[in-house]
A and B are shown apart, each in its own frame.
Chain A
């Protein structure tokens, strides 16, 4: 056995030194390489998971927003219809009021015109009477004057 060890140069001190060398490599690589890479992978996995969760949340929010938009549009439609209906009713009422007012004004104007016409006719009649009387007096004066001349 000793010959075998000697032939292969087996020396327990070198054996331990090589084992220590490997131990140093193991510790150093673990510290400088494996841990940073595995941490980076975990971090990226976490970020990817967060990204997916965010995307799902955004999709849900978008779907919710669509529903909300549809709901609001429907409410706005209903409100608009109500407003239009109210406006139509108000317009009709205003139209009726204006028509009535116009009719009243027209009839008042007609009444007023008729009254003025009657007054004018009466006045003309009175003036005509006066003129006739004066003309009659003038005619009588002329006749009388002719007779006494």
Chain B
């Protein structure tokens, strides 16, 4: 077993099923999925015309979010189309980030070859998850752009042969778009992973006192990061559907 602080950058593999690696972040993703889907199922079934306080609150948030998306995208139809994606990104990432500090996550595990393997690890501290989410966001943005602007206008954003400056701008635009994949995934991964390490270090140096407030703070950061990921996807969709000349 480790003495002191053990910082593991990648998710630990707990086993494999038919050669498929099962990591602790994957297990936690499944648990969060089950909780989210179960909660959604129970809540969706209990909806009533005359709402209770919880339903009224959630409906208020939904209406507000939808209205805000409509304002950003400039179209209610587009807002309705992208609402499930944006809301799911926020809910999934927020649920993972909040459950990260629940008892058992990171502390329960198995010892194998005198090494401790936690059973659960927040998927947002696994680059596979953040990169997958970033890729979904990236492809949604680019496909939306092609669908709305048309292929040639879309391609014209990156390949501009009218002038050397235009060509350079197109190239920069292309690289910056590709960079989104990195920035999206590493922003979320870095923030949440750093928070986890911070709490771990605080627990090592000042146990019983410092970790609790820091956990509260990190839970807040988790919400903010979920919001940032969802909002950036929304804003990039907006930029993607704008005419290139209008966008600049």
- Whole-angstrom distance from the CB of B77 to the nearest CB of chain A? 13
CB neighbours (8 Å) of A28 from chain B are 33, 36-37, 40-41
A93 sits at the interface (CB 8 A): no
CB neighbours (8 Å) of A25 from chain B are 33, 36-37, 88, 91-92
Q: Which one of A18, A21, A32, A38 contacts B40 once the chains associate, using CB atoms below 8 Å?
A: A32
B interface, by DSSP: helix, strand, loop or mixed? Answer: helix
Query: In which size bucket is the chain B interface?
Result: 35 or more
Cross-chain pairs A/B with CB under 8 angstroms, 28 sampled: A7-B10, A10-B127, A11-B128, A13-B21, A14-B128, A15-B128, A18-B26, A18-B29, A18-B129, A18-B133, A19-B132, A21-B33, A22-B89, A23-B136, A25-B36, A28-B40, A28-B41, A29-B37, A29-B87, A32-B40, A32-B44, A34-B84, A37-B44, A38-B80, A38-B83, A40-B49, A40-B59, A44-B49
- Whole-angstrom distance from the CB of A3 to the nearest CB of chain B? 12
Expressed in whole angstroms, the Cα–Cα distance for A17 and B22 within the complex equals 10
Q: Which of A1-51 contact B (CB under 8 A)?
A: 7-11, 13-19, 21-26, 28-30, 32-34, 36-38, 40-41, 43-44, 47
On A, residues with C-beta under 8 Å from B are 7-11, 13-19, 21-26, 28-30, 32-34, 36-38, 40-41, 43-44, 47
Cβ A11 vs Cβ B21 within 8 A = yes
On B, residues with C-beta under 8 Å from A are 9-11, 20-21, 23, 26, 29-30, 33, 36-37, 40-41, 43-44, 47, 49, 58-59, 62-63, 66, 80, 83-85, 87-89, 91-92, 123, 126-129, 131-133, 135-136
CB neighbours (8 Å) of B43 from chain A are 32-33
